[in-house]
Amino acid sequence: MENPKIRFKGFTKDWEQRKFSDIASRESVSRESSYDLPSLEYEDVIAEEGRLNKDISLKENIKKGIVFDGSQVLYGKLRPYLHNWLNPDFSGVAVGDWWVLKPNNADKSFIYRLIQTQRFDDIANQSAGSKMPRADWNLVSNTEFAVPVSQEEQEKIGEYFSSLDHLITLHQRKCEQTKKLKKYMLQKMFPQNGAKVPEIRFYGFTYDWEQRKLGEIATETYGGGTPKTSNEEFWKGDIPWIQSSDLIDECLFDVRPRKCISQEAVSKSATKLVPQNSIAIVTRVGVGKLAFMPFSYATSQDFLSLSGLKIDPEFTVYALYKMMQSVSNEVQGTSIKGVTKDELLAKKIIFPSCNEQKKIGAYLHSLDNLITLHQRKCDELKKMKKYMLQNMFI
């Protein structure tokens, strides 16, 4: 029979077709949760990542579920397209729509990766029901899957993907930890509640911070507009044109515009050409998002851009981020659709000396760079895992 495209050296025997029920069976013994058997629910697992989002041993509510002891694999049968799965190394009770799968003459880690393959996903999603679809055990259990004859080859495949998962988790955790550190430092490195100095400062800085209106820290402001979409020539230029959806929450740099316009589009519409090193702030749809723009650009009507900044740009973008979080919270849940130009420019911003601004801006930017580094590495590893799942299985 056909063999996978990628195999470990030394393994040449053909894989064999085996019913899923021959390599894994469903556990059915149920019991109430306890201190030694914590309950595991759908909401406790991060979809597609196969890791817990909380310490389930701290749960106090007693719930009934299927017992597992660490020798099984868990697969979420409810809405299987959500990709809920877990390879636990602890005991507990699986509450709700879980299959607790016990390997039969097959490596546990191999089974855990098999249920993540596209072929298994396709079978599991041939389910009944439209609103609450569930994988059909009768269908899945009777479907044949290609499996290595050698237990050693199964183990090597399982170990390989375990190492990939470990690296993915490592970078995810570092990314999350750095985000938490950034959030903490944003709170502590800026004065709060009317204070004139922050709780955390770089050594050597002691002077009070200064307060100004936002309109006083920029020499020029720019609005935006949308050129006629019916005129195709307007959209064949080389001037980056950004809209709210181009900006990502909490990502203050590295905006990648998806559309460009011509100089004629600028001259024949409400949009403006904004100089480089400006800050674009979303004031309407998606209010609260903003970004530093190192190149000249134009925007939709949802933006106000600050140009010719009188204080350090890196510091300013983080100070504005804190301010816009408050603005976003004020607008959220109300009938107000955004914030006007006059309202925004009248808001007050507090800042320290130029040297302290530079240090704060550079430090926070370095944290953002670390977050981006770990996220990119994580994304690369996920792509690699997807590719290997496609090529190391049949």
pLDDT digits (tens, 9 = 90+) for 329-341: 776 655 557 888 9
In a domain? residue 7: no
Query: Is residue 59 located within the same domain as residue 140?
Result: yes
Q: Is the pLDDT of residue 56 over 70?
A: yes
Which DSSP string corresponds to 131-155?
Answer: SS-B--HHHHHTSEEEE-S-HHHHH
What is the chain's mean pLDDT, rounded? 93
CB 333 within 8 A of CB 277: no
Query: Is residue 132 located within the same domain as residue 157?
Result: no
Which DSSP string corresponds to 237-276?
Answer: SSEEEE-GGGS-TT--S----SEEE-HHHHHTSS---BPS
Query: Is residue 296 located within the same domain as residue 222?
Result: yes
In a domain? residue 367: yes
Residues spanned by the domain of 67: 16-147
In a domain? residue 200: no
SS3 341: helix
**What's the pLDDT score for residue 3?**
87
Query: Is residue 187 located within the same domain as residue 61?
Result: no
SS3 364: helix
In a domain? residue 316: yes
User: How many independent structural domains does the chain possess?
Assistant: 3
pLDDT band at 326 (very low <50, low <70, confident <90, very high): confident
Q: What's the predicted TM-score (pTM) here?
A: 0.84
CA distance 60 to 39: 9
Query: Is residue 335 located within the same domain as residue 360?
Result: no
- Look at 326 and 69; give whichever has higher pLDDT: 69
What element of type H or E holds 281?
strand 278-282
pLDDT band at 150 (very low <50, low <70, confident <90, very high): very high
Q: Is the pLDDT of residue 159 over 80?
A: yes
**What's the pLDDT score for residue 4?**
92
In a domain? residue 4: no
Query: Is residue 273 located within the same domain as residue 303?
Result: yes
Q: Is the pLDDT of residue 309 over 80?
A: yes
CA distance 315 to 356: 9
In a domain? residue 368: yes
pLDDT digits (tens, 9 = 90+) for 109-147: 999 999 999 999 999 998 766 678 899 999 999 999 999
In a domain? residue 172: yes
**What's the pLDDT score for residue 132?**
82
pLDDT band at 1 (very low <50, low <70, confident <90, very high): low
pLDDT digits (tens, 9 = 90+) for 219-272: 999 999 999 999 999 999 999 999 999 999 889 999 999 999 999 999 999 999
Specify the CATH number for the domain of residue 226.
3.90.220.20
**What's the pLDDT score for residue 332?**
61
In a domain? residue 2: no
| Widest distance between CA atoms in the chain | 76
Query: Is residue 338 located within the same domain as residue 214?
Result: yes
CA distance 210 to 221: 22
Phi, psi at residue 270, to the nearest 5°? Answer: -80, -10
pLDDT digits (tens, 9 = 90+) for 273-297: 999 999 999 998 888 899 999 999 9
Q: Is the pLDDT of residue 206 over 90?
A: yes
**What's the pLDDT score for residue 128?**
62
**What's the pLDDT score for residue 284?**
86
**What's the pLDDT score for residue 336?**
56
- Look at 268 and 326; give whichever has higher pLDDT: 268
CA distance 356 to 195: 17
